[in-house]
Structure 1
Amino acid sequence: MKNILLIWDIDGTLIDSKGSGRRAMDEAFLNLFNIKEGFKGVNMAGRLDSQIIKKAFEINKIEEMDFVRFLDKYEEMLKKELKCNTSSKVLPGINEILESTSSQENLFHVLGTGNCERGARLKLSHLGLDKYFEIGGFGDEDAKRWQIIKKAIDKAKTFYKADFSMKQIYVIGDTPLDIECGKILGIKSVAVATGGYSCDELEQYEPDYIFQSFEDFEEFLSILVK
């Protein structure tokens, strides 16, 4: 039986946190630098937290770039934000996909996200999903997104002591950048229109598979046996 590796994006793919991350980053910026809406105009979709934060520092002309200090404050603000956020939700079909495959010995779920690891864990644990993801590639470092996905693959091989055929590795996300990662690495891409891009917009980037949502989770699972 061949091993299958699913590499999941978080925001817009697994969950909708209703802007919690952006608000927490704005609050962290306000606390540290007394600047309101420090991330205004910064495109966050599909991008790494390290790059997002760097861009905000540049826009607001903050010369002293202490990334760890900012992440510490962001973590503090995100905890508060999530505690008060009752509208964030797991996206359709995700619970069913994760639950129905969690005991499948040859199928592994990992994260491949632009979120820093602390932010990723907080967002997922808030909605009860953290238990499904032991490892992943995260946006803490200044790297290209495909390099984060490559790191997730390498970690999975080591952590699970498993080999994966490139045809059995799927990167799953809601942005063109996720599709691009699949093409660069020679792995399958699964696009889903539950984030900021429509099916028509995502289709232009030619993913291997595309879904309006994962509400029909059995349809998603069916691609894994092809």
Structure 2
Amino acid sequence: MSNHLLVLWDVDHTLIETMGVGRKVFAEAFEIATGQPMSAGMATALGHTEPVLLDETLRLNGISRPDEGLFERFARAQVAAYRKHAEELRERGRILSGVERTLEALSHQPNIVQSVLTGNTRGAAEVKLAAFGVDRWVDLDIGAYGDDDVNRSALVEFARQRSEAKLGETFLDSDIILIGDTPRDVEAGHLAGVRVVGVASGSSPVQELRDAGADYTIGSLDETDIFDILSAFLRSS
């Protein structure tokens, strides 16, 4: 059992919103990687990892047999495009309500360590979070990303192993909390055996997250003190 509670945050619609910049970046990277414009639009299934979103977008655009290196080209182009549009991202995008206050407060708790579990590649997540200064409160080295595995539930194990290697502790399932805004976040956490807090800050309302089986649901990070929830989890561990 660890001396810490590992809190893994989803990124998009839980911590930040790109307000259209992410779609613009995806389209630019798609064209660079494939050599053709993204005429049919980007797949919009929320909660999927980046490789799954790219595969579906390729299908929508009639590319049924992508070459082996396509995802790597796309990922590099996506990071470069986010860097190019970083100022636009800061101007058009936003940190969601309550995020700064919550992350800062949790960063001062000696028994809590924070990172991310996201479908974004690590490179994209780093640029997006840095654009809003969110990276100062989370340890990205122990997070898990879409370029680790296509299955979101598998990402929990990556975060667990990285946390154990860095902190020299064993993280049981009860030591890990996933916080996200979609039923897929809830499903991923439960498939991995960890608890999930559902935050209705995206397109999924509280009842949908509750129906998906979230261990706790809130409307937004402004609605309640997340530390109270995590403290209850700590007491029940």
User: Which TM-score applies when normalising by structure 1?
Assistant: 0.91
CA distance, structure 2, for counterparts of residue 31 and residue 98 of structure 1: 36
Query: Is the counterpart of residue 202 in structure 1 residue 209 in structure 2?
Result: yes
* 1:159-196 deviation per Cα after TM superposition (whole angstroms, max 9, x unaligned): 12223342231110001111112221221110001012
How is 1:73-222 mapped onto 2 (pairs within 5 angstroms)?
A: 73-85=77-89, 86-134=91-139, 135=141, 136-218=143-225, 220-222=226-228
Conserved? CA contact 2:152–2:188, under 8 Å: yes
* 1:145-169 deviation per Cα after TM superposition (whole angstroms, max 9, x unaligned): 1001221122111112223342231
Deviation at 1:141, TM superposition (A): 4.0
Shift in CA distance, 44/77, structure 1 to aligned 2, threshold 3 Å? farther
Deviation at 1:69, TM superposition (A): 1.4
Deviation at 1:104, TM superposition (A): 2.3
Instruction: Look up the SS of the partner of 1:43 in the other structure.
Output: coil
Conserved? CA contact 1:30–1:37, under 8 Å: no
Instruction: Look up the SS of the partner of 1:100 in the other structure.
Output: helix
CA distance, structure 1, for counterparts of residue 149 and residue 158 of structure 2: 13
Gaps of 5+ in 1: none
Farther-moved stretch of structure 1 (93-102 vs 78-87): 78-87
Conserved? CA contact 1:174–1:197, under 8 Å: yes
Q: Residue 8 of structure 1 corresponds to which residue in structure 2?
A: 9
Aligned length: 224
Q: Once superposed, which parts of structure 1, at least 4 consecutive aligned residues long, lie more than 6 Å away?
A: none
CA RMSD of aligned residues (A): 1.9
Conserved? CA contact 1:190–1:207, under 8 Å: yes
Q: Residue 223 of structure 1 corresponds to which residue in structure 2?
A: 229
CA distance, structure 1, for counterparts of residue 92 and residue 118 of structure 2: 22
User: Which TM-score applies when normalising by structure 2?
Assistant: 0.87
One-letter identity of the residue aligned with 1:225 = S
Gaps of 5+ in 2: 233-237
Percent identity between the aligned chains? Answer: 28
